[in-house]
Structure 1
């Protein structure tokens, strides 16, 4: 069975349909269909279930896909190892980063990587979604998650704490916030929750097990953390944000951490680097993962030291 034609099955299942596989390969749909039929003839069985818009593997197709995917990755790694003997790291890497962390910190890290490895080209996507990396044509994704997708190879970097932040201008025009119940009459800027009903906010005292829950009515909601930070700095209310998003604002006196002795429950996540491949990843992908682990570790350690 020709490995080149096995690649057709891998391409089809990665793309989700024949037309998209043809687009990615730069060939016609009829060419992809012809290669699939030939592969099924050689295998002696049907490999995919076809509909007008989607394909799904049969059991035989799934087995052949898994083996074919590994063989192609091994072949690509071997080719790169041979080409890279004595040469600079080179290649193309597609990376997806979260909007807030990407805007505030990762842009500089990616520029530094490209300066270090000028033969590597990057395609950078800003997105908060957790993709199917192979299907969405992404090699690496940096994500803050509570649960790791089982379909990806995940490398944990650290915990990411969230805190309550407010602009000094907002705090100057209202009574002091000394305990959780003082939050009840504050303006709340958050990512989720129905605006017509209170949003529960759960806090735990850092030095013990005491837990408090406050019902807060959202004044503004957005999944875009840089926008929530801007709204907070504009004095519109209190916003729960990851440390990295607003700690610099605290350092320059534009914002303050509210109730620093209390920990937000249910918002903390873990910072991961997700990869579409593990040991068979191209050299450029492995080099960028190592670079990001180093840079992200420095970022997180800095805030942990500052706020600890």
Structure 2
């Protein structure tokens, strides 16, 4: 069947394609099986299988390869998923946009936030926004940085504040602040409160860290630091949430990395103790990530503009927390 066949006529597809089928396909693409997708959609499995078959018939392409123990998108399925995610996100926002067409700014803003992002710039922008628009509402979802960016790309989040690895050309990025990571231990650890420690004193001790603490990931600089002090071989605990990494460090599970400015209060409260190295600490940048393609409600646009304004009016040295 050629691409010029009536089967692929754009007008016919636009006329006959059911948006509900696209919504179902997005869930199917993000699931591990039809059964899993049916559970999320609260539908019976045969209903979901029929919807997939109808979509494949409409498009004239197989979208998911299914067999016992195997469930994967085809090339056509991957292409459709990329487009369907954006379409589905736009449709979901329509009712919200219509509801918020009032004189007051009453929109809802959903921020996908990396774990324990600490910056007075963000607090300042949120305070100013709430004072000016008290009827607007806000949700902050704490997620891994990769998930936060995916939520923005899928138009399920207004914007994200997180760490960034590879830049998606479809999204916009602006550095909010720079933080520096040091290594810390907790009260049960044998190095706690020991003065005049050298890097050699850390050798052989176990460590805890972040799931993204890998050479190919966003905390590569932290991975290198751990390797330099011989903490790379024995990792006793990992988490994608800073609070849980901190919990494991305080509990004595091992030496672990934390942003120095975030750990400062715990150091003062004698819950954490910084260990070498003390100089040339790895710098990690935290970004504001958003999509220019996403149609924003008034509240989203106002808060985004407020964040960009406070970032651009503050020199980088004043946004670097050592």
Answering whether residue 294 of structure 2 is matched by residue 280 of structure 1, we say yes
Question: Partners of 1:129 and 1:262 in 2: how far apart?
Answer: 27
Structure-1-length-normalised TM-score: 0.60
- Give per-residue Cα distances to partners, 1:40-62, cap 9 Å, x unaligned: 22223323222457643333333
Check the 8 A contact 1:167/1:234 in 2, yes or no.
yes
The match for 2:60 among 35, 44, 52 is: 44
Answering whether residue 49 of structure 2 is matched by residue 29 of structure 1, we say no
- Match of 2:30, SS state, is helix
Question: Partners of 1:256 and 1:272 in 2: how far apart?
Answer: 28
The match for 2:176 among 140, 145, 157 is: 157
1:176 alignment counterpart: 196
Give the gaps of 5 or more residues in structure 1: 194-199, 204-212
Give the gaps of 5 or more residues in structure 2: 1-15, 211-222
The match for 2:141 among 124, 129, 133 is: 124
| Map 1:16-165 → 2, pairs under 5 A | 16-51=32-67, 55-86=71-102, 87-91=104-108, 93=110, 95-98=112-115, 100-101=116-117, 118=135, 120=137, 122=139, 124-125=141-142, 127-128=143-144, 130-131=146-147, 133=150, 139=157, 142-145=161-164, 147-148=165-166, 150=168, 153=171, 155=173, 156-164=175-183
- Give per-residue Cα distances to partners, 1:160-213, cap 9 Å, x unaligned: 211355799x99965535xxxx332369674359xxxxxx9759xxxxxxxxx5
How far is the alpha carbon of 1:263 from its aligned partner?
Answer: 0.8
2:11 alignment counterpart: none
Instruction: Flag the 1:27–1:294 CA change in 2: closer, same or farther, 3 A.
Output: farther
Question: Partners of 1:121 and 1:274 in 2: how far apart?
Answer: 17
Structure-2-length-normalised TM-score: 0.58
- Match of 1:191, SS state, is strand
Question: Partners of 1:227 and 1:123 in 2: how far apart?
Answer: 18
Aligned residue pairs, count: 279
How far is the alpha carbon of 1:290 from its aligned partner?
Answer: 5.8
Instruction: Flag the 1:217–1:72 CA change in 2: closer, same or farther, 3 A.
Output: closer
- Give per-residue Cα distances to partners, 1:59-102, cap 9 Å, x unaligned: 3333433343333444445554443322534347373531x447
Check the 8 A contact 1:161/1:268 in 2, yes or no.
yes
Check the 8 A contact 2:206/2:231 in 1, yes or no.
no
